[in-house]
Amino acid sequence: MKQSLDFKLGQHLTITPQLQQAIRLLQLSSVELQQEIQEALESNPLLEENEREEEIPEAKNDTELSTTDSKEANGEDTGESSDDVEALPATDNDPGEESETDWDETFEPMRAPLSSRSGSNDDFPDIDARNSPPQTLRDHLLWQMQMTPYTDTDKQIALALIDAINEDGYLSCKLDEIQQVLGKNHAIEMDEIEAVLHQIHNYDPLGVGARDLAECLQLQMKLLSPDSPDLKAARELATPANLALLAARDYAQLRRLLKLSAEELQSALQLIQGLNPRPGNSVTSSQAGYVVPDIIVRKFRGVWRAELNSDVSPKLRINRQYEKMIHRGDSSADNRYLQDQLQQARWFIKSLVSRNETLLKVARNIVDRQRAFFDHGAEAMKPLVLHDVAESVSMHESTISRVTTNKYMLTPRGIFELKYFFSSHVATADGGSCSATAIRSIIKKLVECETTTKPISDSTIAEILSEQGINIARRTVAKYRESMNIPPSNQRKSLI
């Protein structure tokens, strides 16, 4: 076999670490971005937060990059279009060539990192209390069990019953199953288990340990005053058979069985609706999910403008003191460490700049296309897809998808995810198109204005939309209605 050397010319795409970091930051939400910035500030000594406003007007170089422009964020006229702002060019220069100084030079005092700043107790909440694990229903019931004088056998029964109670507060297994489990060690009568369960029924929250919805409601009605109006009718209504008729909205059959008028049945229903069908949820606490808007939309001189939320991405810069410690030509371990950290800090700042510019560019394009929404509401929403915005801003659709995922916009009409402004279109009678979001808004208003004793059906809604020039099928109306968690017409019907 003859050996030879060949040269081939080709193209291939390489994702650099800088590009990987920029893509990762682009798809982070505002809360995740703040955590990422905090971790970067704690791990990189050459990165610091710029909080002193008097240092912002100074000359901007690669060591004083800022994640956002203050004038652009405040909507001021800077004499040039903010849409034309481009990402700062990367520099391949050696960090040591840009900053060289003597080690004995007098440096300015170091600023404390963000993580070490202290404040008063009024300014910062109790971190331990905020991050402590939430109290569960089981813990709440065990605490009450410890306060109840039980025998050793009754305590074992109570512990088994509490373990069988689910998060909603209902007993998830039958008593004979608990008897079989406890009877492995010694015989336990069913009367003992029922007596302990009766004691648990008196625990807080009232209704816990119930075996079904009817028993849960009956336990809660025991707390009501015997003189409460319609209490007798509510107790007769809270039976398994009558609750099944109530779920089917068979009010006529209920009135015949209970011998009640429409007003009396409605009053009994209101009393039952005031009870808690899931008593366990009142004890179990859940972690709240916070939404921090990335974009703020305001009307300025009659024009809607999108601005970055400066609180989401703080201004970052290079720590000057550590930068001055870098020596050109020094190959010591400390100097190489500072050089690496300096380069990483520059990449991180430039990735933040690129993220903010891309997000602002996409948000402004969305606001320009959906001005009718901000003026008139969701009914004026126009059809919009990712491809439309991608063509306008000269980006790929995948980039637009990353930018609009988990990013929120604060508007005078509320907080919306950027993906909310994208929707498919439905053909109209005049040959135009209508946004699916606008159709959902119309359906919601029709349901809100309907007569509760005779709610409108999906077919009627489709006919009303057809009269307005929107060609839509009944099954499409049902799909949009279900997406808004609106029950069908037979479940929206009421007595009066």
Distance CA 253, CA 271 (A): 19
Q: What was the pLDDT predicted at 135? A: 80
Q: For every residue of the chain, which 3-state class applies, written as one string?
A: CCCCCCCCCCCCCCCCHHHHHHHHHHCCCHHHHHHHHHHHHHHCCCEEECCCHHHCCCCCCCCCCCCCCHHHHCCCCCCCCHHHCCCCCCCCCCHHHHCCCCCCCCCCCCCCCHHHCCCCCCCCCCHHHHHCCCCCHHHHHHHHHHCCCCCHHHHHHHHHHHHCECCCCEECCCHHHHHHHHCCCCCCCHHHHHHHHHHHCCCCCCCCCECCHHHHHHHHHCCCCCCCCCHHHHHHHCCHHHHHHHHCCCHHHHHHHHCCCHHHHHHHHHHHHCCCCCHHHHCCCCCCCCCCCCEEEEEECCEEEEEECCCCCCCEEECHHHHHCCCCCCCCHHHHHHHHHHHHHHHHHHHHHHHHHHHHHHHHHHHHHCHHHHHHCHHHCCCECHHHHHHHHCCCHHHHHHHHCCCEEEECCEEEEHHHHCECEEEECCCCEEEHHHHHHHHHHHHHCCECCECCCHHHHHHHHHHCCECCCHHHHHHHHHHCCCCCHHHHCCCC
Characterize 455-467 residue by residue with b for buried, 16 or more Cβ atoms within 10 angstroms of its Cβ, and e for exposed.
bbbbeebbeebee
So what's the pLDDT on residue 20? 85
Q: Which residues pair with 146 in a beta bridge?
A: none
Angle at 406 between CA 404 and CA 409, to 5 degrees: 70
Strands 295-300 and 433-435: unpaired
373 Cβ contact partners less than 8 Å away, ≥ 6 residues apart: 380, 381, 382, 413, 421
Q: So where are the chain's domains?
A: 137-282, 425-492
> To 5 degrees, how large is the angle CA 115–CA 117–CA 118?
125
What averages of pLDDT result for each successive group of 10 residues across the chain (496 residues)?
79 78 87 90 90 46 42 43 39 43 42 41 50 79 94 93 94 92 83 94 94 95 88 93 90 91 91 93 72 92 92 86 84 89 92 93 95 92 92 92 92 93 82 86 92 89 90 91 90 76
**CA atoms within a 13 Å half-sphere pointing along the CA-CB vector of 285:** 10
Q: Which residues of 94-112 are buried (b: 16+ CB within 10 A; e: fewer)?
A: ebbeebeeeeeeeeeeebe
Q: What is the pLDDT of residue 494?
A: 77
Pick the CATH number of 425-492 from 1.20.1250.30, 1.10.10.60, 3.90.1580.10, 3.40.50.300: 1.10.10.60
* pLDDT score at 133: 65
CA gap 135, 482 in Å, rounded: 34
What is the rounded distance in angstroms from the CA atom of residue 133 to the CA atom of residue 286?
10
Per-residue b or e along 435-445, where b marks 16 or more CB atoms closer than 10 Å to that residue's CB: bbbbbbbbbbe
Tokens encoding 306: 């999108």
Q: What is the largest CA-CA distance in the chain?
A: 107
**CA nearest 409: which of 344, 363, 449?**
363
Write b or e for each residue in 58-76: b if 16 or more Cβ atoms lie within 10 A of its Cβ, otherwise e: eeeebbbbbbbbeebbeee
Q: Cα(210)–Cα(198) distance, rounded to whole angstroms? A: 10
Degrees to nearest 5, angle at CA 29 with 27 and 31: 145
pLDDT of residue 55: 44
Q: How far is residue 255's CA from residue 302's CA, in Å, rounded to a whole number?
A: 58
